Amino acid sequence: MGMANLQRMAMQMQQDMLRVQNELAETSVDGSAGGGVVKVVATGKQEIVSITIDPSAVDPSDVEMLQDLIVAAINDALRAARELAEAKMAGVTGGLRLPGM
């Protein structure tokens, strides 16, 4: 494999990675907790877009439970975002695990 071919392959991989990163920024994933009383939407780049809390989850005497549900829903959404990113990047890298990806 010649150096020019290797450079061309590296440039193609870089372009594909940029395309996937843009797709991830535009893709939404959902997370939820408490049977859906707390819902979180995040982008594929693991940025939280919105949090929805059903009024039935708001109990002034048990704020700690609501806090736990919010954390669980956020973690669920971020897990889904990571899995989406890993799946999309695997298509670009051929399964290679690159640092920071």
Does residue 98 lie in a domain region? no
pLDDT of residue 92: 77
65-84: per-residue pLDDT in tens?
999 999 999 999 999 999 99
User: How many structural domains comprise the chain?
Assistant: 1
Q: Which residues of 59-95 are buried (b: 16+ CB within 10 A; e: fewer)?
A: eeeeeeebeebbebbbebbbebbeebbeebbeebeee
Does residue 101 lie in a domain region? no
Residue 23's pLDDT band, with cuts at 50, 70 and 90, is: very high
Contact between 73 and 38 under an 8 Å Cβ cutoff? The reply is yes
Helix (H, G, I), strand (E, B) or coil at 42: strand
CATH of the domain at 43: 3.30.1310.10
Find the domain containing 88 and state its range. Answer: 3-93
Does residue 9 lie in a domain region? yes
Asked if the model's pLDDT at residue 10 lies above 70, the reply is: yes
Helices (H), the chain: 3-26, 63-93
Asked if the model's pLDDT at residue 27 lies above 90, the reply is: yes
Per the document, the length of the chain is: 101
From 83, 66, 67, select the one nearest 30 (Cα to Cα): 83
